[in-house]
């Protein structure tokens, strides 16, 4: 079901993760990328649920039965973006070709002292937004996230760049929403991912790649309370050292009327899902939800 991601355990040991980190830092990105092939093979052989989820997704977006080679390329793309996080967080963005599309959608707001909600997904790399924002100081950014998910690798990356921790607003704490409101009032951008529903969280059934999937209603409800512009962002890995970072305005304001709450939420969340599908089709191997994303009962 659509919240299976919560129960998935991290693959790999702290030693293995730190070994790859050491190799990346001391022997360079080119040498470290050689390890992506055994990592891909490991996931193909050992991680059956993720392999099956990849195949399910690829069947839909490719419009044909996905082959083992298709799945391998999908996993390899995911592993590449994880490795690249090391270099992006270590202030080595110059090693990448990052093409930004419509960044003025965000920077114009920030220049005017207007806070906004940046809404992303597990599509491509989050780090091509976060790392330059931290290292270059061009974007005052706060990030809403679950701090305990993928705890091992998150801890290692925060050790690599301690300033990452300062940008995090942990979901689930008593004062989180107050801190979010303060951030946007101060003219900051608050970023979050909006494609994974969890537990009893209110969700919306949306058409995505030809079938119904559950998307969380929380991001749009938050946007309606904050009364700030909502900007979609997607950082697509295009192979090698190339990334394309897209910014697209979803709404100047998200209005959810009490009398037609469900209908308004359906409209806004479906708009988000439609744009995710658009970008997923641009770079199919960038979809990184390796669990049963579609609602079997819908």
Quote the pLDDT of residue 108: 94
How long, in residues, is the chain?
298
Per residue in 161-219, pLDDT (tens digit) is 777 778 888 887 888 999 999 999 999 999 999 999 877 789 999 999 999 999 999 99
Which stretch, 42-46, 131-135, 207-211, 257-261, has highest mean pLDDT? 207-211
Give mean pLDDT, residues 58-62.
Answer: 97
127 token code pair: 């780090």
What is the predicted pLDDT for the residue at 93? 84
- pLDDT at residue 101 greater than cutoff 80: yes
Q: What is the pLDDT of residues 15-30, one digit of tens each?
A: 666 777 788 778 889 9
pLDDT of 298: 42
pLDDT score recorded for residue 6: 47
Which strand (E) or helix (H) includes residue 215?
strand 211-216
60/149: higher pLDDT: 60
The average pLDDT across 246-275 equals 96
In a 13 Å sphere around the CA of 229, the CA atoms on its Cβ side amount to: 22
Burial class (CB in 10 A: 0-12, 13-18, 19+), 34: exposed
pLDDT in tens, 115-159: 999 999 999 999 899 877 776 667 899 999 876 656 666 677 667
Distance CA 6, CA 264 (A): 28
Q: According to DSSP H, which parts of the chain are helical?
A: 14-27, 29-33, 36-46, 48-62, 68-89, 104-111, 127-136, 151-160, 163-167, 176-185, 218-226, 261-282
- Is the pTM higher than 0.85? The answer reads yes
pLDDT, residue 1, reads 46
* Whether the Cβ atoms of residue 168 and residue 98 lie closer than 8 Å to each other: no
- All structural domains of the chain with their residue ranges: 4-286
Q: Using an 8 Å Cβ cutoff, are 195 and 276 in contact?
A: yes
pLDDT value at residue 237? 98
State yes or no: pLDDT of 296 exceeds 90: no
């Amino acid at each position: 079901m659509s919240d299976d991601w919560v129960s998935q355990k991290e693959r790999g040991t702290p030693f293995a993760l730190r070994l790859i980190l050491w190799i990346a830092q001391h022997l360079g990105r080119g040498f470290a990328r050689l390890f992506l092939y055994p990592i891909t093979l490991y996931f193909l052989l050992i991680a059956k649920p993720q392999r099956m989820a990849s195949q399910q997704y690829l069947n839909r977006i490719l419009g044909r039965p996905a082959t083992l080679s298709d799945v391998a390329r999908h996993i390899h793309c995911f592993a590449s973006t994880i490795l690249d996080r090391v270099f992006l967080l270590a202030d080595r963005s110059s090693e990448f070709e990052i093409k930004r599309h419509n960044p003025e959608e965000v920077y114009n707001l920030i220049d005017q002292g207007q806070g906004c909600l940046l809404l992303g997904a597990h599509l491509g790399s989050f780090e091509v937004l976060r790392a330059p924002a931290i290292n270059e100081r061009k974007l005052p950014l706060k990030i809403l996230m679950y701090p305990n998910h993928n705890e091992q690798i998150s801890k290692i990356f925060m050790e690599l760049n301690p300033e990452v921790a300062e940008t995090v607003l942990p979901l689930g704490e008593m004062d989180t929403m107050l801190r979010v409101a303060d951030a946007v009032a101060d003219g900051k951008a608050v970023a979050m991912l909006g494609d994974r529903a969890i537990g009893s969280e209110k969700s919306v059934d949306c058409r995505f790649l030809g079938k119904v999937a559950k998307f969380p209603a929380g991001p749009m409800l938050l946007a309606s309370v904050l009364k700030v512009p909502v900007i979609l962002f997607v950082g697509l890995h295009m192979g090698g050292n190339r990334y394309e970072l897209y910014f697209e305005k979803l709404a100047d304001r998200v209005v959810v009327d009490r009398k037609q709450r469900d209908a308004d939420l359906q409209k806004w969340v479906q708009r988000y899902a439609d744009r995710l599908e658009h970008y997923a089709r641009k770079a199919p191997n960038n979809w990184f939800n390796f669990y049963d994303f579609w609602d079997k009962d819908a």
